[in-house]
Amino acid sequence: MELVAPAGNLPSLKAAIDNGADAVYIGMRNDTNARHFPGLNFEESNLAKAVFYAHVAGAKAFLAINTYPQPQGWARWQRAVDVADDAGFDALIVADMGVMEYAASRHPNLRLHLSVQASATNRHALGLYQQQFGIRRAVLPRVLSLEQVTRLAKHSPVDLEVFAFGSLCIMVEGRCQLSSYATGKSPNLCGACSPAEFVAWHSTADGLESRLNGLLMDRFPAGTVTGYPVICKGRFRAADSVYHVIEEPTSLNTIELLPLLAKAGIKAIKIEGRQRGTAYVAQVTRIWRAALDALSTQKDAFTVRHEWAESLAGISEGAHTTLGAYHRPWQ
């Protein structure tokens, strides 16, 4: 299985590759990708340098152009596709049909991967994108159980890539408008979920309050661990109790599923986190490289080493991890 690692800048890209990533994925410094955060991502003039570094090391470079252009901004997405081809990327990660059509017709040799933001969760949806735009690989939303992933891999018309580690979207990616409901900005509209400019923290008599565009996401008694205020990890009242109505702050970690994912024929595993720092990218990539190498030599005897589990837990959101939807009872 191919290890696909995130990079929000050139140092992270180097860290990912130096620590054993088979491929890196990056985005441009605008709203054409779903991690459109201030200070993150690559200037157009740096794209070729990024690709060059990957290629010299024998790794691949993917460019995420995985948001949904609106007519006013179309030129940026078109430009992104054009420069990606010039820069020599191995694949584009795309979500919008208009972008796919443009790429497939103008740059027929450019390999297309279906982004998780396109929300394809079944073989007929995948088949449509394969037939219409010639996509070669799809990244699956984090909503399928392991059994469903295994079954889909058997019947999928394209290679599959799944999320292995990182922040956990509880909702089907590309089909979540909770962020824009609170703030007016969302991954689909502008490439960001719950942007930092809408986040506020207040000390009150009831503890530390986190708000998203004025809406109270949570209250933390002194001394408790706080989480970034997003609706899907907030604590609210429903049916007379106050609890994490959607999900606790937690991260996805599937390292124990590696043998089963390999057996299912999953082509690539993806690490989330282009917004993370270089040290994080280096550490996570190193552990997953070691795990994949161990898997290829030990096969069925593969076990998760204690130090991997400990390191991954230590850098996870909320300091604990879950198998998420892969594990049916989670659902």
Partner 1 sequence: MTAMSAMKISLGPVLYYWPRATLLDFYAQAAGWPVDSLYLGETVCSKRRALRTVEWIDLAREISQTGKQAVLSTLTLIEAESELSTLARLCDNGDVLVEANDMAAVHLLSEKRLPFAVGPAINVYNTRSLHYLQRLGLMRWTAPMELPRMTLAAILEEADDLGFGERFETEIFAFGHMPLAYSARCFTARANNQPKDGCEFECLKYPDGLAVYTQDDERLLTLNGIQTQSGDVLNLIPEWKDMQALGVQLLRISPQSQHMREIIDHTHAALRRGALPDLSAFIEGAGCNGYWFGQAGHLQMESERSMP
Residues 265-324 that bind partner 1 (CB under 8 A): none
CA dist., res. 264 & res. 144, Å (int): 14
Residue 159 parent element (H or E): strand 159-167
Beta carbons within 10 angstroms of residue 124's beta carbon: 10
- Determine which residue in the list 7, 16, 47, 144 makes contact with partner 1, applying CB under 8 A: 144
Category of 250 on φ-ψ map: left (φ > 0), alpha (ψ -120 to 50) or beta: beta
With binding defined as CB under 8 A, does residue 47 bind partner 1? no
Residues 203-262 that bind partner 1 (CB under 8 A): 213, 215-219, 231-232, 234-239, 242, 245-247
Residue 244 parent element (H or E): strand 241-244
Among 315, 251, 304, CA closest to 277: 315
Residues 110-139 that bind partner 1 (CB under 8 A): 118-125, 127-129, 131-132
How many residues touch partner 1 under the rule CB under 8 A: the total is 71
- Determine which residue in the list 62, 68, 89, 302 makes contact with partner 1, applying CB under 8 A: 68
String marking each residue 6-45 x if it binds partner 1 according to CB under 8 A: ----------------------------------------
Tokens of 179: 């962020």
Tokens of 305: 């080493």
With binding defined as CB under 8 A, does residue 104 bind partner 1? no
Say if residues 159 and 139 touch (Cβ distance below 8 Å). no
Phi then psi for residue 43, to 5 deg, are -70, 150
- Taking the complex as a whole, how short is the minimal distance between the CB of residue 176 and partner 1, in angstroms? 4
String marking each residue 74-103 x if it binds partner 1 according to CB under 8 A: x--------------------xxxxx-xx-
- Determine which residue in the list 48, 83, 189, 304 makes contact with partner 1, applying CB under 8 A: 189
With binding defined as CB under 8 A, does residue 164 bind partner 1? no
Tokens of 304: 């998760």
With binding defined as CB under 8 A, does residue 69 bind partner 1? yes
The residue among 120 and 291 lying less far from partner 1, judged by its C-beta, is 120
Phi then psi for residue 140, to 5 deg, are -85, 140
Based on its alpha-carbon atoms, the radius of gyration of the chain, rounded to whole angstroms, reads: 20
- Determine which residue in the list 3, 143, 264, 269 makes contact with partner 1, applying CB under 8 A: 143
| Sign, Cα dihedral of 320, 323, 327, 331 | positive
- Taking the complex as a whole, how short is the minimal distance between the CB of residue 58 and partner 1, in angstroms? 35
- Determine which residue in the list 46, 145, 150, 278 makes contact with partner 1, applying CB under 8 A: 145
- Taking the complex as a whole, how short is the minimal distance between the CB of residue 79 and partner 1, in angstroms? 15
CA dist., res. 326 & res. 331, Å (int): 9
| DSSP type of residue 214 | T
- Taking the complex as a whole, how short is the minimal distance between the CB of residue 166 and partner 1, in angstroms? 17
